[in-house]
Homo-oligomer: A and B are copies of this chain.
Amino acid sequence: MRKKNAKYVVGVDLGGTKILSAVIDSRYRILSRAKKNTRPERGVDVVVDRVAASIEEALDELNLTYANIKAIGIGAPGMCDPKTGTVLFAPNLAWRNEPLGRMLSKYFGTPVYVENDVNVGTLGVYHLELLKSKPVPRSVVGIFVGTGIGSGIIINGELFRGHNFTAGEIGHMALSAEDGLKCGCGNRGCLEAFAGRLGLVKRIIAEMKNEKGDTPLHRMLAEEKDHKIKSKHVAEALHKRDPIVTRLVNEVAEYLGMAIVNVMHLLNPDAVVLGGGVMQSFGDYIMPRVRKAIKRRGIPVCCDGIQLVGTQLGDDAGILGAAVLAWTSLAAKTKRS
């Protein structure tokens, strides 16, 4: 079916807690948005229905129908086979081998492209930000620091997915041989255990118990109903020079720097981009410290000239990246046929 009036794509950011959908045009303007909770505990079919409903909501806002969209791009939180659109493994959704792409494609009668969420974010940053820099980087590692830490790898201008579609698992790079912190993966000393938001908050809580006192963070949390540490608290505590938070966020920067140096030594990419919730919340504090750690630890002949930048796409990296996935996949398909 040729769609003559189809001028848009839908970008979907499918996360463990929420689903964001947006109608996006070929100049990457976001024309409408919809948001739903994911509810993975209710099973695969419910989640797929909710994805479909969020897409319909975003279309409806613009008075559009299925016929107006050329393709759907989806970033999913796990291992994906982009050829079949299958989510092979997504621990946060408790999914194994779910044919997400096929299900939605059948429902909407439109091509659906499925890719790992961090790869999608990296694709978005690459196409919407880095292609504008000169010289254009051809190999890029996009590192997203949020609850956990993941990365996407671009080689020769294309996503590099690896043997099991899991290339970029930088969060589980071991950085401490023996005594490292316990990580969710079962190992010790992974980058994520030190520098992911979950790891950071755990460490802050442990330190606060040790130093029962009157730090800015103690006072802030006393005022909150649930006493939970959120990114805004960490950012504010940093601003108020809370000693525990300052020390531990400095360590986040140090470990991130160490991991990035390992990437620069091993892959020697043209650029490294940092994004994700932690960078959005206190990237201004972290970034100069990461640069310092890289300067101190990196071998100059290996690291010289590699761009290190933060993405400006923010929360929209997911939906915009999914739109890039959709538009570039369509273009590749046209080129092939």
Residues of A within 8 A of B (CB): 79, 88-89, 139, 151, 153, 155-156, 160-170, 172-177, 180, 185, 187, 189, 254-255, 258, 261-263, 265-270, 297, 299, 301-306
CB-based contact B169/A299 at 8 Å: yes
Contacts of A305 in B (CB 8 A): 163-164
The smallest C-beta distance from A323 to any residue of chain B, in angstroms, reads 26
Contacts of A175 in B (CB 8 A): 174-177
The smallest C-beta distance from A48 to any residue of chain B, in angstroms, reads 22
- Which of B165, B173, B266, B269 meets A168, CB within 8 Å? B266
Given contacts A163-B305, A270-B163, A305-B163, contact A265 B299 (CB under 8 A): no
Contacts of A304 in B (CB 8 A): 164
Report the 10 A-B pairs with minimum CB-CB distance, sorted nearest first. A162-B268, A169-B265, A167-B268, A166-B302, A163-B270, A176-B177, A173-B262, A172-B265, A166-B268, A163-B268
Contacts of A160 in B (CB 8 A): 139, 155, 267
The complex is assembled from copies of this chain, and their number is: 2
Contacts of A301 in B (CB 8 A): 79, 88-89, 164, 166
CB-based contact B297/A167 at 8 Å: no
CB-based contact B173/A265 at 8 Å: yes
Main secondary structure on A side of the interface with B: loop
The smallest C-beta distance from A59 to any residue of chain B, in angstroms, reads 35
- Which of B165, B169, B177, B255 meets A266, CB within 8 Å? B169
Q: Which residue on chain B has the smallest CB distance to residue A178?
A: B176
The smallest C-beta distance from A89 to any residue of chain B, in angstroms, reads 6
The smallest C-beta distance from A193 to any residue of chain B, in angstroms, reads 12
CB-based contact A174/B299 at 8 Å: no
Contacts of A180 in B (CB 8 A): 177
The smallest C-beta distance from A268 to any residue of chain B, in angstroms, reads 3
Contacts of A258 in B (CB 8 A): 174, 177
Contacts of A79 in B (CB 8 A): 301
State A175–B156 Cα separation when bound (angstroms).
28
State A302–B79 Cα separation when bound (angstroms).
9
CB-based contact B89/A266 at 8 Å: no
State A139–B163 Cα separation when bound (angstroms).
8
CB-based contact B255/A167 at 8 Å: no
Contacts of A189 in B (CB 8 A): 177
CB-based contact A297/B187 at 8 Å: yes
Q: Which residue on chain B has the smallest CB distance to residue A96?
A: B301
Contacts of A262 in B (CB 8 A): 173-174, 262
CB-based contact B185/A299 at 8 Å: yes
CB-based contact A269/B187 at 8 Å: no
Q: Which residue on chain B has the smallest CB distance to residue A254?
A: B177
Given contacts A155-B155, A174-B175, A177-B255, contact A167 B270 (CB under 8 A): no
